[in-house]
Amino acid sequence: MIPAESQRFELFMAQLSRMAAGETHERIPISPERDALDAIAFGINMLAAELSFTNVSRDSMTNIINAISDMLIVVGGDGTILNVNSSAAKILGRADRDLVGRALGTIVTDLGFSFARLREELLQRRSASDVECHFLSAAGDAIPMMVNAAFASSGTEPESIVLVARDMRQTHRLLRRAAEAEIERRRAAELAIARDAAEDASRAKSAFLAGVTHEIRTPMTVILGSAQILKRLGGDAKLREEFLKRIETSGQTLLLLIEDLLDISRIEAGKVKLETSDVSALELMRAVVADLRAHAATKSIALELVCEDGFPTTVASDPLRLKQILTNVVGNAIKFTPSGTVTARLFVAPDNPRELCIEVADTGIGIPTSKQSELFTPFYQVDNTIARRYGGTGLGLALSRKLARLLGGELRLAASRENEGSSFCLTLPLGGGALERPPALT
Ligand SMILES: Nc1ncnc2c1ncn2[C@@H]1O[C@H](COP(=O)(O)OP(=O)(O)OP(=O)(O)O)[C@@H](O)[C@H]1O
Ligand SMILES: [Mg+2]
């Protein structure tokens, strides 16, 4: 029995209103007649089936959207918020109803932010990426966000814009922690360097003090011992003379040592004042050679002086200090050369016309390569046997290098070969200022 036509229409209407309410599982019965109304019923049933499928995918889409940890905000063309996902509500601490219907601009705190500009950019480029801004939470906090935006509709006139905003607080925290860790690491490294330097300085000071004590004790022992012997000595004038001489020599050694020590400590304390004037380095070297010639002659050592073309007649420097360095270096060359020649050569550096070089070369005992790096350390002497044989305290080169640097120059070992000789090179700046120090051999 087929229901009456009016009843069938009622069935259609009821089905359509159920479908409008989202109920899509019911179906309109189809009569065996397969008449025109059955065709309509068939169509409505198909629509219901189609809608039920669409509902399922819409629900799962909603679930997916809400599962996204970034905020999703759909905004209308006028900047009104149309929809938000649950992360937006959670991050901002605002209920959906507090967000939907609001103008986006009212929850973005950045003064420079303008929805109109964002929309303009979207119209031009279709998307906007990595826009940094701050969203206002219900508690009044400005939450840093990174926003990407695109049109939700594909037409040319935008109907809605979707914003994906990432909460940057965790990223900022991680970055801050990494930066703090880096600062901490650097601070620890600087501390370690400072501590090592302090330890080095303290070790150097101890070694220096040990050297001073040793060097003072030796001549003092000679002086005191000789004085005691003298007291007990009878009238042997020759012997008395011998011990007096020992006292005098040790006294002089002590005086020289004390003068060198005072010089070094004054330089280190920055208390040495330079008396700079126009100095003829050649004349100074001539005077040094003249002073030491007699001593060289006792060892049959020839002293030669060469001044190359272009070497300036004068240089701005401190004559006393310069002479002190030259005397030390030429004195060493004579002291450590059993026989042969000591040559002083004055020239302008071939690669730098503003750098003057005073080279002192000898044909002496030379310095073993393994010992060359220590030469400028206070009290260092290549070996004690030599020290005893040649005298001295091992302060000359240390002091001379400090003086050279004070004059804006450098003193370094230029070359040395055992049993063949050595050459030391003093460089000085032609004008004022200081030379860039070349990497020293020692
Ligand atoms: N021209 C040289 N030839 C060989 N060895 C040298 C030469 N100049 C210096 N030395 C070595 O370097 C060491 C340190 O020299 P430095 O001038 O500092 O001390 P010194 O001459 O022993 O004592 P001081 O100069 O204090 O009287 C010397 O003891 C010596 O071993
Ligand atoms: Mg010396």
Residues 422 and 327 in one domain: yes
- The residue that leads in pLDDT, 108 or 7, is 108
More confident position, 437 or 236? 236
pLDDT confidence of residue 254: 87
Q: Establish whether residue 400 lines the binding site of ligand 1, counting it when its CB lies within 6 angstroms of any ligand atom.
A: no
Mutational pocket test of ligand 1: of 332, 371, 420, the residue with most ligand atoms within 8 Å of the beta carbon: 332
Q: How far is the CA of 317 from the centre of ligand 1 (A)?
A: 25
Instruction: Return the best residue to mutate from 292, 336, 383 for the ligand 1 pocket (most ligand atoms within 8 A of CB).
Output: 336
Ligand 1 centroid to residue 425 C-alpha, Å: 14
Ligand nearest, relative to CA of residue 415 = 1
Looking at residue 441, its pLDDT comes to 43
Same domain, 341 and 352: yes
CB of 397 closer than 6 angstroms to any ligand 1 atom: yes
Same domain as 126, residue 162: yes
Q: From CA 378, how far away is CA 44, in angstroms rounded?
A: 107
Q: How far apart are CA 360 and CA 345, in angstroms?
A: 6
Q: How far apart are CA 240 and CA 233, in angstroms?
A: 7
In this structure, are 322 and 352 located in the same domain? yes
The dihedrals phi and psi of 144, each to the nearest 5 degrees, come to: -70, 130
Of the candidates 49, 65, 81, which is a domain's last residue? 65
Q: For 323-367, what is each residue's pLDDT tens digit?
A: 999 999 999 999 999 999 999 999 999 999 999 999 999 999 999
More confident site: 209 or 167: 167
Decide: residue 40, CB within 10 A, 0-12 exposed, 13-18 middle, 19+ buried.
Answer: middle
pLDDT at 190 over 90: yes
Q: Among 314-323, 362-371, 379-388, where is mean pLDDT lowest? A: 379-388
Q: Is the CB of 375 under 6 A from ligand 1?
A: yes
Which domain CATH number covers 399?
A: 3.30.565.10
Axis-axis angle for helices 169-232, 237-268 (nearest 10) = 160
User: Residue 92 belongs to a domain with what CATH number?
Assistant: 3.30.450.20
Using the mean position of ligand 1's atoms as its centre, give its distance from the Cα of residue 274 in Å: 25
Q: Is the CB of 364 under 6 A from ligand 1?
A: yes
Output the pLDDT for position 154: 54
Residue 437 lies in a domain: no
Same domain, 152 and 10: no
At residue 270, the pLDDT reads 84
> How many independent structural domains does the chain possess?
4
Same domain flag for 232 and 341: no
Atom of ligand 1 nearest to the CA of 390: 22
Is 394 close to ligand 1, i.e. is its CB under 6 Å away?
yes
Q: Are residues 150 and 227 in the same domain?
A: no
Q: Does the CB atom of residue 92 touch ligand 1 within 6 A?
A: no
Give the pLDDT confidence score for residue 343 in this predicted structure.
98
- CA-nearest of 203, 204, 212 to 394 is 212
Q: Which tops the pLDDT comparison, 316 or 14?
A: 316
pLDDT, mean over the chain: 87
Considering only CA atoms, which residue is closest to atom 22 of ligand 1? 394
CA distance to 231, 249, 261, 331, per residue, from 237 (Å): 13, 18, 36, 34
Q: For 20-55, how does the pLDDT look when each residue is reduced to its tens digit (9 = 90+)?
A: 777 788 899 888 888 888 888 898 888 888 877 776
Q: Which residue range forms the structural domain that includes residue 211?
A: 178-266
pLDDT (0 to 100) of residue 209: 80
**Are the C-beta atoms of residues 350 and 421 closer than 8 Å to each other?**
no
Residue 318 lies in a domain: yes
What pLDDT is recorded for position 391? 72
331 in contact with ligand 1, CB cutoff 6 A: no
Contact 100, 89 (CB under 8 A): no
Least confident window among 139-143, 302-306, 433-437 = 433-437
> d(Cα 85, Cα 254) in Å, to the nearest integer?
91
Is residue 152 located within the same domain as residue 295? no
- Which DSSP state fits 394? S
For residue 336 and ligand 1, the question of a CB distance below 6 A is answered with: yes
Whether residue 313 sits in one domain with residue 247:
no
440 within some domain: no
- For residue 441, being part of any structural domain is answered with no
306 Cα: distance to centroid of ligand 2 (angstroms): 22
Is 173 inside any structural domain?
A: no
Are residues 280 and 425 located together in one domain of the fold?
yes
* Residue 26 pLDDT: 87
Q: Ligand 1 pocket, 363 CB below 6 A?
A: no
Res. 108: pLDDT tops 80: yes
pLDDT in tens, 232-244: 877 788 888 888 9
Q: Are residues 289 and 425 in the same domain?
A: yes
The answer on 421 and 279 residing in a single domain is: yes
Evaluate: CB of 393 within 6 angstroms of ligand 1.
yes
